[in-house]
Amino acid sequence: MIPASGFSPLPVAVPLLGAGALAAIRRWASRAIADSIGIAFASVTLIFATLLLLHSLQGTSVYWFGNWHPRGAMVIGIGFVVGPIGAGLATLTALITLLSLIFSWRFIDSGGNHFQPLVLVFLGAMCGFVLTGDIFNLFVFFELMSTAAFALCGLKTEEPAPLQGSFNFAVTNTVAAFLVLTGIAFLYAATGALNMAQIGAAIGARHDSLVVFAFTLLTCGFFIKAAIVPFHLWLPDAHAVAPTPVCVLFSALMVELGLYAVVRIYFSIFEQALSPHASTLRFLLMSFGAITVVLGGTMCYAEHHLKRLLAFSTVCHVGLMLVIFSLQNSLAIAAMLAYLLAHALIKSELFFTSGIILHRLRSISERVLFRRGTGLRGTACLWFIGAAGLAGLPPFVSMIGEAGTSQAAKIAGVDGISWLFFFAGSITSAAVLRAGMHIFLGAGENPLTDRAAEVGEMPETTPENKKIFWYHFAPPLFCICGAIALTFLPGWQNVLRDSSSNFANQQAYIHTVYSTGSAASAQPEWNEEIPSAAMHGFFAFIFAIALAVTSVFRAKLPHYLRIGSFLERGFRPLRLMQSGHPGDYVLWLTIGLVVFGSVAALALVH
């Protein structure tokens, strides 16, 4: 057991202090000063998070605030559990936030310098969310993160669309917070504890209706944040209206953190209790995941509003991560985190590029942009490389996640997951390729469109300066280089695998929190699946190109080959589901909760 590092709370404290300072001087500070301060605080956060990660590689440490160490089995303080996975996610969060702030440097409309302090609050909340070991603390950071996100989403209040997007986002995610809080209240009623390790130890193997009810509420609450179908309806609306750097934070970080919370809670509290029904639970989670993949992918291809298209691709990929998690072994968690990392980098890159498109061409609708991007070679390269990354084409790091998943699926005895990878990779990549072919290559004629794309989006930057600078290209380039370099960087996979085996082990977690020491078990290899994963990625990309071609050149093809344009028209029931009405979204959310809850009640209680 290594001593807790004294700077454990700093990744939370530094950005919050920065936000306070920025909010205080907001009125008097010029844009350049506010941006510099924001970037400085994000950089310092990144440094502390990285130091924390390096420290945690020697072993997970627990930081008790005010030195309130546990007395026996009773936890009386609030603790941060700083493991490699939590610290790693905090580092990723700080890095992507820093890139977003660099991207918005004197460029994105900051709403009177409200943008920078809100982003710092968001950063601090996300760091706290991944580090905390206390379930009520998790709720508080969840709410802090959400509230900053609502405000960031509705930053452009000059138009009605951002109000709609952020209102729906706020209503659904606040309901999510109440579900989580109710779940926490039930856990407290059952165990009298709020520390996750203590709750887990107190629940033990008990799986009566109270425990299953709490599990349902917590899981569904975080599923709303993670945009799992049918809880996902807020996500495209919010992404379509948020400024580009905010979209990056939502898609690359916030949504994944929702899923991270589900995994964290499952493995620290419910693993032992629900293990007798592991196969039923796997079926339940995998069904939700697979439906999310299929629906997200289908809707992604049917969208012509670039940000909504990317938003649905996030839905699709988060569904895939849920499917990986449903395998419930430690290798699956390692694979899920590797995939999460890859997705965060690639999706950030694509959103940054969409921001450059919106800035240069003043529109975000595929049909309006048709043939208008033919001169933008650099932007086109970034866009197409991002498409290749979505498909998992080697050498992008997504294939390592897929390789780990194949190995984990073999251990769990589940077939067919590589088909889901193939579907998700190829259809989202095809949608991005199709948009790219229309915009940058000017291929085909008369692109299809849809209602949301016709509404479009007002440019978020000032029109007098259409010029683009190196620092707008630096963040997407950095993301691409990162996503490729990680594939060749040796060693991190093994670290991830070993730390996942501790993360996905309730007893190990409890031992860590109570500082009683734990033994790591030997882990299976996952490198042997990499060649086949690379092949899958390659074929997915080829298939994506073929699909995009059947869409773009539909006029030249016989009817039976127009698969792409058939998919592109979309399915009416799915479009109707995305009605834009907060009441409908809450209704779908209730339906999802009832379905999940009744299956859980029937199958998991005794």
Partner 1 sequence: MPHVLASLPYFVAGWLFFCGLYGLTTSRHLVHAVISLAVLQSSTYMLLLGIGYRTGGTAPVFVDISPGRLTVDPVVQALMLTDIVVEAVVVALLLAMVVKAYEKSGSVSPSDLRTLRG
User: What residues make contact with partner 1 under the rule CB under 8 A?
Assistant: 136, 140, 143-144, 146-147, 150-151, 154, 157-161, 163-167, 170-171, 174-175, 177-178, 181-182, 184-185, 188-189, 194, 236-237, 240-241, 308, 450-452, 455, 570, 575-576, 578-584, 586-587, 590
Cα 313 → chain centroid: 11
Q: Least distance from C-beta 551 to partner 1, angstroms?
A: 18
Q: Least distance from C-beta 201 to partner 1, angstroms?
A: 18
Relative to beta strand 79-82, strand 61-64 is: antiparallel
Q: Least distance from C-beta 498 to partner 1, angstroms?
A: 36
Please, what is the Cα angle at 412 between 409 and 417, to 5 degrees? Answer: 30
> In DSSP terms, which residues pair with 195 in a beta bridge?
134
Q: Least distance from C-beta 476 to partner 1, angstroms?
A: 26
> What tokens does 175 get?
């309901």
Residue 140 or 484: the one with the smaller Cβ distance to partner 1 is: 140
Residue 3 or 160: the one with the smaller Cβ distance to partner 1 is: 160
Residue 74, phi then psi, degrees to nearest 5: -95, 120
| Structural element, H or E, at residue 437 | none
For residue 269, the tally of other CB atoms under 10 A from its CB is 27
Residue 546 or 587: the one with the smaller Cβ distance to partner 1 is: 587
Among residues 191, 197, 194, 254, the alpha carbon closest in space to that of 224 is found at 254
Residue 167 or 492: the one with the smaller Cβ distance to partner 1 is: 167
Please, what is the Cα angle at 275 between 274 and 278, to 5 degrees? Answer: 95
Q: Least distance from C-beta 452 to partner 1, angstroms?
A: 5
The answer to whether the CB of 353 falls within 8 A of the CB of 379 is yes
Residue 237 or 402: the one with the smaller Cβ distance to partner 1 is: 237
Residue 174 or 280: the one with the smaller Cβ distance to partner 1 is: 174
Q: Least distance from C-beta 243 to partner 1, angstroms?
A: 16
Residue 348, Cβ density class (10 Å: 0-12 exposed, 13-18 middle, ≥19 buried): buried
The amino acid that residue 303 corresponds to is E
Residue 458 or 477: the one with the smaller Cβ distance to partner 1 is: 458
Among residues 552, 572, 576, 570, the alpha carbon closest in space to that of 562 is found at 552
Q: Least distance from C-beta 442 to partner 1, angstroms?
A: 26
Residue 304 or 497: the one with the smaller Cβ distance to partner 1 is: 304
Among residues 59, 65, 60, the alpha carbon closest in space to that of 79 is found at 65
> In DSSP terms, which residues pair with 305 in a beta bridge?
365
Reduce the DSSP state of residue 82 to 3 states and report it: strand
| Structural element, H or E, at residue 192 | none
For residue 510, the tally of other CB atoms under 10 A from its CB is 21
Q: Least distance from C-beta 544 to partner 1, angstroms?
A: 23
The answer to whether the CB of 252 falls within 8 A of the CB of 216 is no
CA distance 35 to 102: 8
Residue 426 or 578: the one with the smaller Cβ distance to partner 1 is: 578
Residue 104 or 578: the one with the smaller Cβ distance to partner 1 is: 578
For residue 174, the tally of other CB atoms under 10 A from its CB is 15
Residue 112 or 276: the one with the smaller Cβ distance to partner 1 is: 112
Residue 465 or 590: the one with the smaller Cβ distance to partner 1 is: 590
Q: Least distance from C-beta 164 to partner 1, angstroms?
A: 4
- Start-to-end CA distance of the chain, whole Å, equals 37
Structure letter (DSSP) for residue 4: P
Q: Least distance from C-beta 545 to partner 1, angstroms?
A: 27
CA distance 504 to 519: 13
Q: Least distance from C-beta 459 to partner 1, angstroms?
A: 17
The answer to whether the CB of 255 falls within 8 A of the CB of 227 is yes
CA distance 116 to 72: 44
Residue 556 or 569: the one with the smaller Cβ distance to partner 1 is: 569
Reduce the DSSP state of residue 594 to 3 states and report it: helix
Q: Least distance from C-beta 324 to partner 1, angstroms?
A: 30
Q: Least distance from C-beta 31 to partner 1, angstroms?
A: 23
